[in-house]
Structures are given as structure tokens and as C-alpha cells.
Structure 1
Amino acid sequence: MNTSEMNDAQVAGLASAIIATAEAMGQEMNPGTAAIMAEDLCAYQVPVVRAALKACRLEVKGRLSMADILQRVQSSDGRPGKDEAWAIAMTTNDEFETVVLTDEIQLALAAAKPVLDAGDKVGARMAFISAYERLIAQARDDAKPVNWHVSVGFDANRRTAAITKAVQMQRIPQERGRLYLADLSVAPVTDDGRALAGLITGDVVRPTPAVREKLQAVKASMLEMRAATAERKDEMRIEAANELADRRALLLKQVEDLESGRASHG
């Protein structure tokens, strides 16, 4: 059960709604049966269950069943379908892309990664979908709400776009999205920050003495990069590759934390 668990009055009201739905579908239902079904559905939010009952009235041909209701309740939990989940998982290959993904997508991708690394994309997709469907089935059986989180890429502009889109799609709450954007913001807010940005923009802002020395170091570093030999450029590429490896290690650590969390609740 979770924090959306219904109270007794809501369960009783839901049982009445189940009976009414069954009657609207040309079926008589025993009040005791409806009460049992309502108890089984009490872990979900009332509006979600009522919406599922309405969908059953409009879509189901024949008798109302618990499976019909659950299918519609669970599909409204915000978890993407298998094809969308695979597409999201594949965007993590671009280290510059910021990706907003669910726990189940990250865990399923970890399960498929050995096949993907071997170059078998078709087999990797099959392994991913198999793991993903198993993971979301388990999560739904446990009435676990969907959890979207951000895997930050290196491109600052893409970070803002990805998080803004996730907020618009209601995958991340607005307040949480604002916090992400604030943490990832590259806009300087101090005179010292504006002085550093002036190296790029050309805007002149006088830095404090403490920062002036850092500015000189930054300028020297930029000059070094422009005049870098081929050997130095190779070194810089290696450094960039190491940064990407660090990010992959962080993603794997997140997967391990998720799996250990699932094991502790198992």
C-alpha cells in the first residue's frame, strides 16, 4: 500500500461505483463481490479508479472483471510503454544528452547492456523489453508510483530543454523542475561570475582581486588550448573520454542503488 490508500468511506463508495458500473454493462453484481474488488483497489487513488471504471463502461464488451479495471488503473500510472521506454533508453548513448527516465528503464537498460555492448541491437531490445515488462509488472503489483529522475548530460542547453519538457509532460513536478534548473543553471549571479562570463561574451565587469588571478589562469589555459600541439589535443581527448567514463560509472552506481533498494523491500 502507499500514501494514496483509501479510507473506509471511500472504499464503500467505490464498491457502490463498481456495482453501478456492472449494472450499466448489463450485469448484476453481489455487494460482497464489489466490496472485495474495492478492497483490492484501495491502494490506488480514487480519481484513477473511477476513471478506470468509466473506461470499462465505454470499452469493455461483456462482463466487468477485476482484470479489466486493473489494466486501466495501472496503465494510467505514467510509465511509458515498452517502445517509448526503449527509445528513451537509447538516448542515454549520447553523453551530451540529458535524459529523464524511470527506475524501470534504467534497470532494464542495465540488464540489456551486455548484449548491446556486443553489437546486437535487436537482441538488446528484446532483452530490454523482457526486463522492462517484468519490472513494471512487479512495480504495479506493489502499487509503487512511477519515479522519474534526471541523468545529466554535458550539453547545458539540452539539459534545460529536457527538464522543461519533462515538467510539461508532468513527469517531474514543477517545483522539482525549478530546483533542477537552478542547480544546472550556467547564468552567473555575481560580479565575479559575470567577469568570468565576460571572457566569452566580451562584456567588461571588473572582478574582485581574489578572482583576477583566476581570470588570468583561465585566459592562459584558453591560449594553451588554441596553441595546443597534436599530442596535447590527443591528451585533451583522453581527458574528455575519462569524463565520459566517470559519468557511465555514476549511472551504473545509480543502477546498483536501485537494485539494492528493491532487494531490501523484497
Structure 2
Amino acid sequence: MNSCERLTLEQIARLALAIVATAEVLGQSLTADAAEMMADDLADYPAGTVSAALKACRRELNGKLTLAAILQRVQAADGRPGKDEAWAIAMTTNDEFETVVLTDEIQLALAAAKPVLDAGDKVGARMAFISAYERLVGQAREDAKQVNWHISVGFDANRRIQAVTRAVQMQRIPREHGQKYLADLSVEPVTEGGRALAGLITGEINYPAPGLRKKLELVKNSMMEMRKASAERKDEMRIEAANELADRRALLIQQAQQLEAKRAVQ
């Protein structure tokens, strides 16, 4: 199901005229009927995105204007990362302390590649991931679905702030969503740098209340415990961390299955 509002008949008519004009700039004669058919095929995409794609065609094309050429530029502007960047984002989920902002397609492709990755074949896992990712992205673009970025929360509070701030700056999540997420954080950033990053979004810098200071003191004590722990306790803590990572991966798989189920009923 298309997540964008379809263009109105008036907008489609204006788009058809723009297509004819673009074809003429490229030295091509295009009939009104052909332009109207192309405009109707493009009507599921935002008008601004299609207009930008036509402008790119006028600048970049040397041959004839085709629907495929316009669609290529429309789809490339949907905000979905390329396969190599998507794989790098997926691999970031291996760090349980890292907060990761990822798309539905990255999460679903990671679930598809997980059995190969768990077997220790990273090269094969990458191939499986890219194959699934390109298929999922192709289907989403064919259905004219907008990209959906969401957050997988890690344990490090400062990294949460950094990840959300970066996602807002890259326009992957709306600023108001970033503000709400930062307001809902249960633990304040540990460092002044973290608070400064949060201020870029919220517009204000909040200092820890006494209750939060107590929580931060517990975090600090826990870190000191790790430094002073015996070799046996360190092994136990590493096992606990590995279990937490496994739980996080299981959650990502569960969410991916839910996404797949939703796609099936749409």
C-alpha cells in the first residue's frame, strides 16, 4: 500500500506538461498521451521529488527522456542508504552499547542473513544481506513506500544522544521525534559533551537532578567494579554482555518478523 498521497488530477496535468517540456529541452518530441501516461505512473510519488528528478534529467541525460530515467532519480531520493552503507549500519548492531538508527529493509535483510552470520561466514552473510536488501528496497520503491527509520537502543547513554542527534541532522528522523526521544531518555547523558549534543535538538541543556546524580553514581561505581573485578568476575560479566547482545539480536529478529507479517497483509 502506498504511504504517499497520490497527486491530484490537476497536479498530474501539470506534471505531464513538465514532462513534455523536459523532453523538448533534451531534443525529443513527446506526445501529450505519452506524457500523461508517464505522469500517471509517477503520481504516487511526492510532487517535489518528481520535479527534482525532472530537473536532474535535464542536466544529466544525453539521450531520450524515459520513465525509467525519471524513476531512477525519484527512487534514489527516497533516503534509503546504498547496500554498502546499509551493511555497515547492520553490523553496528553487534555492539550492544551502540544505539543504531536503521530502516525496515536493513532490519529485514539482517534477519535473513543472521543464520549465515551466526555460522561465522561474514563474507557469505554480507552476500545474503545485500541480496535480500536490494530485493526489499526494490519492492518498497515499486510500491512507492516512504523510508521508515527507527531506533534500536543501546546501553550507552551518550551514544544514544549522539545517534539521535546525527539522525536528526541527516533528516532521517524528524526533529520533533528526536526531541521526544531525548525527553524520554531515562538516564541523562553522563558527559558535558553528551548534554551539549542533546541541546542541539532540544534547545536547552538540562543538568542532572539529585535523583539522576544518584543513578549516575551507580553507573560510575559499576564501571569501577569492572576495573577492579577478578579475572573470574570479568569472565562472568563478559558472558552477561554476550547474553544481552543475544537478547538484542533476538528482539531485532522478532521486530523483523512483525514487519514481514505487516508487509504480507498489505
TM-score range, shorter chain: 0.7 to 0.9
For 1:48, the equivalent position in structure 2 comes to 49
Greater CA drift, 185-194 or 69-78: 185-194
For 2:65, the equivalent position in structure 1 comes to 64
Aligned pairs for 1:228-239 within 5 A: 234-239=235-240
What is the count of residue pairs matched by the alignment? 247
- 1:97 and 2:116 matched: no
Q: Tell me the TM-score normalised to structure 1 length.
A: 0.84
- Taking a change above 3 Å as real, the CA distance of residues 236 and 122 of structure 1, as seen in their structure-2 partners, is closer
For 2:211, the equivalent position in structure 1 comes to 192
User: Following the alignment from structure 2 to structure 1, what is the Cα–Cα distance between the partners of residues 45 and 256?
Assistant: 27
- Say whether the 8 Å CA contact 2:187–2:212 is kept in structure 1: no
User: Following the alignment from structure 1 to structure 2, what is the Cα–Cα distance between the partners of residues 176 and 71?
Assistant: 29
Q: Tell me the TM-score normalised to structure 2 length.
A: 0.84
Per-residue CA shift, 1:205-228, capped at 9, x if unaligned? xxxxxxxxxxxxxx9x99998986
Aligned pairs for 1:241-256 within 5 A: 241-256=242-257
User: Following the alignment from structure 2 to structure 1, what is the Cα–Cα distance between the partners of residues 257 and 108?
Assistant: 9
Per-residue CA shift, 1:117-174, capped at 9, x if unaligned? 2222221111111111100000001100000011111111111111110100000100
For 1:216, the equivalent position in structure 2 comes to none
- Taking a change above 3 Å as real, the CA distance of residues 127 and 179 of structure 1, as seen in their structure-2 partners, is same
- 1:166 and 2:186 matched: no
- Taking a change above 3 Å as real, the CA distance of residues 183 and 122 of structure 1, as seen in their structure-2 partners, is same
For 2:28, the equivalent position in structure 1 comes to 27
For 1:211, the equivalent position in structure 2 comes to none
What SS is found at the alignment partner of 2:102? strand
What SS is found at the alignment partner of 1:261? helix
Greater CA drift, 52-61 or 227-236: 227-236
Q: Report how far residue 256 of structure 1 moved.
A: 1.0
User: Structure 2, unaligned stretches of length 5 or more?
Assistant: 189-206
For 2:204, the equivalent position in structure 1 comes to none
User: RMSD of the TM alignment (CA)?
Assistant: 2.4
- Taking a change above 3 Å as real, the CA distance of residues 35 and 88 of structure 1, as seen in their structure-2 partners, is same
Q: Which amino acid counterpart does residue 90 of structure 2 have in structure 1?
A: A
Bigger Rg over Cα: 1
Greater CA drift, 239-248 or 66-75: 239-248
User: Structure 1, unaligned stretches of length 5 or more?
Assistant: 202-218
- Taking a change above 3 Å as real, the CA distance of residues 223 and 123 of structure 1, as seen in their structure-2 partners, is closer
For 1:14, the equivalent position in structure 2 comes to 15
What SS is found at the alignment partner of 1:88? helix
Q: Which amino acid counterpart does residue 37 of structure 1 have in structure 2?
A: M
User: Following the alignment from structure 2 to structure 1, what is the Cα–Cα distance between the partners of residues 148 and 85?
Assistant: 16
More RCO (CA 8 Å, sep 6+): 2
For 2:82, the equivalent position in structure 1 comes to 81
For 2:5, the equivalent position in structure 1 comes to 4
Per-residue CA shift, 1:68-118, capped at 9, x if unaligned? 000000000000011111111111111111111100011111111111222
Q: Which amino acid counterpart does residue 242 of structure 1 have in structure 2?
A: N
Aligned pairs for 1:210-229 within 5 A: none
Greater CA drift, 192-201 or 172-181: 192-201
Q: Report how far residue 247 of structure 1 moved.
A: 1.8
For 2:202, the equivalent position in structure 1 comes to none
